[in-house]
A and B are shown apart, each in its own frame.
Chain A
Amino acid sequence: MAGSTHASVTADGIAAVTAAPSVRPVTPGFEAWRRFRRHRLAVAGAVVLALMVLTVAIGPTIWRVPINAIDFSAQVAGPSLAHPLGTDSLGQDLLARMLYGGRISIAVGLVAMAVAVIFGTLIGAVAGVAPGPVDAGLMWLTDLFLSLPQLPFLLLIIYLFRHSLTAIVGEQLGIFILICIVIGGFQWMPVARLVRAQILSLREKEFVEAARALGASTSRQVVRHILPNALGPVIVAGTIYVAQAIIAESTLDFLGLGFPPDVPTWGRILYDGQNYLDIAPHWALFSGGAIFVTVLAINFVGDGLRDALDPRKVI
């Protein structure tokens, strides 16, 4: 929470208290929402994100050009009325491909982030409160994952599980689940370290000691007192992971480990377009721009969430 300005707590604090009206019927959740709404960038981010999600959700039903209609008469054409975002080297309509690919990219980004944050928080929290040997073991595991050569390992996992999983839940969903688990499974380590470090410092704080003196169980201390105060950095880290996951997914596609080549995703379109930067800049620009705007919007939402959930912060 570096750089945050906290409310001054002296004379004006008393004035605010004494001047207060009688009991306000405000729940903490509503209070957080009220504070979030005052964060302009966060609201803008939320609106942009909602628009993006809406566009990719209903876009393909309105823009009915097929994603794989090849048209050699319009190869690498710039934006026009027939193709608002231009076409790629096979003359496929980029708008249709972007709308379809956005579904996969946004979903992969959010789900992989959730996997990383939830798993990392869990490991970090257990390591932070568990006795020495368990803590050391979990941190060794974290270091192990950090030092593994990720790409060969990803290759192995996907190679091993791809067929058995796609056999159960179908091709696209199978690959989707696998990619989210694999990307999230290689991003949880910094979260775990972050959460553990926060717990180690917070559990010595007097308010946690007070909870201990009141007889609060370890889980109550962690859930009620420690984790809410450790949340800020985790939320910020989480928003950055969304971007990383979208890019990582495109890397997997590039290596032939992700979705099949004929399935467009933002990352894949960006990779394909980079070879044509000099003659068809629109190709990489629109896909890159979509990733950029989405990530920026999520980042602002994350910032707003962090501030809205911290009652000390004046908004």
Chain B
Amino acid sequence: MSEPLLSVRDLVKDFPVKGGLFGREIDQVHAIDHVSFDIGAGQTLGLVGESGCGKSSTGRCILRLIEPTAGEIWFAGRNVTAMLGDELLALRRDMQIIFQDPYASLNPRMTVGSIIGEALIIHRLARDRREFTDRIVELLETVGLGPDHMLRYPHEFSGGQRQRIGIARALAVSPKLIVCDEPVSALDVSIQAQVINLLEDLQDRLGLTYLFIAHDLAVVQHISTRVAVMYLGRIVETASSAELYARPLHPYTEALLSAVPNPSPRAKRHRLHLEGDVPNPIRPPSGCHFHTRCPIRQLPLCSTEKPVLKETSDGHWVACHLRG
């Protein structure tokens, strides 16, 4: 692969847990634990995992919406983690985000036009009123909405339409990379397909690169070039989309895949049930984070040694002592 558009190296994010008499930091939530990955220009990396595994935090760290504790993020040869002031403002034109909840992500007191147009004002992308309006109309049409929607308020739209407005807002600055933070999880299944198709269509037309965060593997398989599976702040397996779905190596990936519903009624299903809950990220298990729930664990190895990502075949990496 040529020079990747986005490189994440050893990203760490610990959230402080405050408590006690004077609100001291008494503990830390280890949300992201040395995560590294690359995304090539025009590609889509699917990032999957359960709730609380750190996938959304990863997306927000890349955009510097939250400050990473350690690690480096490189975007088109520039170090994102070291950016300040104007440089960071300029970065906002290259990277955008689409949120999960289309109801919470649009300001209820602003018209759709001013929501989409805000980026044009902040970055001075329109010379006059006419250009400003034309650009908003163009963006609305890009996402399949009409010019008459400009003066309406977000509550007048359905979930899918709102998500389109969110996409138009992200596109206003003509970004190169869009972090899609579970963009379809809150939508009806029929609407999900429409929004996914819109995202793919936009990628073809505008040459966008996506970091696509989701907990639904079926959705990710459809849109992703590569997929990375996260568990408790670590990437446990990463491979091309086809490879991962055909030959999952990590037992956690297997369990996730076995949970995807199969539309064929005659298909024989082999469900792999995981025992217990996700452990507390304040005190993650020793060794392999997954060893407390793993069906194939071998103690004491798995509970003492931290597995590293190893390449098993071309582009297929897995962090497991037994399958690596």
Q: Which residues of A contact B206 (CB under 8 A)?
A: none
Q: Does B103 contact A (CB under 8 A)?
A: yes
- State whether B122 touches A9 (Cβ < 8 A): no
- State whether B158 touches A14 (Cβ < 8 A): yes
- State whether B107 touches A6 (Cβ < 8 A): no
Encode A288-315 as 1/0 by CB contact (under 8 A) with B: 0000000000000000000001111000
Q: Which residues of A contact B119 (CB under 8 A)?
A: 214-215
A206-B99, A212-B65, A214-B122 as given contacts; A17 in contact with B149, CB under 8 Å: yes
- State whether B118 touches A211 (Cβ < 8 A): yes
Q: Which residues of B contact A312 (CB under 8 A)?
A: 108, 153, 155
Q: Which residues of B contact A220 (CB under 8 A)?
A: 122
Q: Does B68 contact A (CB under 8 A)?
A: no
Q: Identify the closest chain B residue to A208 (Cβ).
A: B107
Q: Identify the closest chain A residue to B90 (Cβ).
A: A215
A9-B103, A207-B105 as given contacts; A311 in contact with B153, CB under 8 Å: yes
Q: Which residues of B contact A17 (CB under 8 A)?
A: 149, 152, 156-157, 161
- State whether A13 touches B99 (Cβ < 8 A): no
A212-B65, A214-B122 as given contacts; A7 in contact with B156, CB under 8 Å: yes
Q: Identify the closest chain A residue to B157 (Cβ).
A: A13
Q: Which residues of A contact B155 (CB under 8 A)?
A: 6-7, 9, 13, 311-312
- State whether B156 touches A16 (Cβ < 8 A): yes
Cα separation A104 to B272 with both chains bound (whole Å):
78
- State whether A210 touches B111 (Cβ < 8 A): no
Q: Does B26 contact A (CB under 8 A)?
A: no
Q: Identify the closest chain A residue to B150 (Cβ).
A: A23
Q: Does B89 contact A (CB under 8 A)?
A: yes
Q: Bin chain B's interface residue count.
A: 35 or more
Q: Identify the closest chain A residue to B92 (Cβ).
A: A215
Cα separation A211 to B96 with both chains bound (whole Å):
10
Cα separation A207 to B104 with both chains bound (whole Å):
6
Cα separation A224 to B65 with both chains bound (whole Å):
19
- State whether A215 touches B89 (Cβ < 8 A): yes
Q: Which residues of A contact B232 (CB under 8 A)?
A: none
Q: Does B139 contact A (CB under 8 A)?
A: no
Q: Does B147 contact A (CB under 8 A)?
A: yes
A9-B157, A14-B161 as given contacts; A210 in contact with B99, CB under 8 Å: yes
- State whether B157 touches A213 (Cβ < 8 A): no
Cα separation A175 to B89 with both chains bound (whole Å):
50
Cα separation A225 to B109 with both chains bound (whole Å):
8
- State whether A10 touches B158 (Cβ < 8 A): yes
A212-247 interface (Cβ within 8 A of B): 212-216, 220, 224-225, 228-229
A207-B104, A209-B99 as given contacts; A214 in contact with B118, CB under 8 Å: yes
Q: Identify the closest chain B residue to A213 (Cβ).
A: B97
Q: Which residues of B contact A210 (CB under 8 A)?
A: 97, 99, 105-106, 166, 169
A210-B97, A214-B169 as given contacts; A228 in contact with B158, CB under 8 Å: no
B79-117 interface (Cβ within 8 A of A): 88-89, 92-93, 95-97, 99-101, 103-111
B62 → chain A, closest Cβ, in Å?
A: 11
Q: Which residues of A contact B106 (CB under 8 A)?
A: 207, 210
B192 → chain A, closest Cβ, in Å?
A: 16
Cα separation A312 to B154 with both chains bound (whole Å):
8
- State whether B122 touches A215 (Cβ < 8 A): yes
Q: Does B322 contact A (CB under 8 A)?
A: no
Q: Which residues of B contact A7 (CB under 8 A)?
A: 155-156
A199 → chain B, closest Cβ, in Å?
A: 14
A13-B155, A206-B105, A210-B169 as given contacts; A215 in contact with B111, CB under 8 Å: no
A9-50 interface (Cβ within 8 A of B): 9-11, 13-14, 16-17, 20-24, 26, 28
- State whether A215 touches B123 (Cβ < 8 A): yes
Q: Which residues of A contact B172 (CB under 8 A)?
A: 214
Cα separation A18 to B110 with both chains bound (whole Å):
20
- State whether B150 touches A229 (Cβ < 8 A): no
- State whether B147 touches A207 (Cβ < 8 A): no
Q: Does A163 contact B (CB under 8 A)?
A: no
- State whether A216 touches B122 (Cβ < 8 A): yes
Q: Identify the closest chain A residue to B137 (Cβ).
A: A23
Cα separation A20 to B161 with both chains bound (whole Å):
15
Q: Identify the closest chain A residue to B156 (Cβ).
A: A13
Q: Which residues of B contact A10 (CB under 8 A)?
A: 158-159
Q: Find A23's partner among B63, B92, B151, B173 (CB 8 Å cutoff).
A: B151
B63 → chain A, closest Cβ, in Å?
A: 6
A9-B158, A20-B148, A28-B111 as given contacts; A213 in contact with B105, CB under 8 Å: no
Cα separation A212 to B106 with both chains bound (whole Å):
13
In the assembled complex, 23 residue pairs joining A and B whose CB atoms fall closer than 8 Å, in A order, are A9-B157, A13-B157, A14-B158, A14-B161, A17-B161, A21-B148, A22-B148, A23-B150, A26-B151, A28-B111, A206-B99, A206-B105, A207-B104, A207-B105, A210-B99, A214-B169, A214-B173, A215-B119, A225-B110, A229-B108, A229-B109, A309-B109, A312-B155
Given contacts A214-B122, A215-B92, 9 further A-B contacts (CB under 8 A): A6-B155, A9-B157, A11-B158, A24-B151, A206-B100, A214-B173, A215-B122, A229-B108, A310-B109
Q: Which 4 A-B pairs have the closest CB atoms?
A: A215-B92, A206-B105, A311-B153, A207-B107
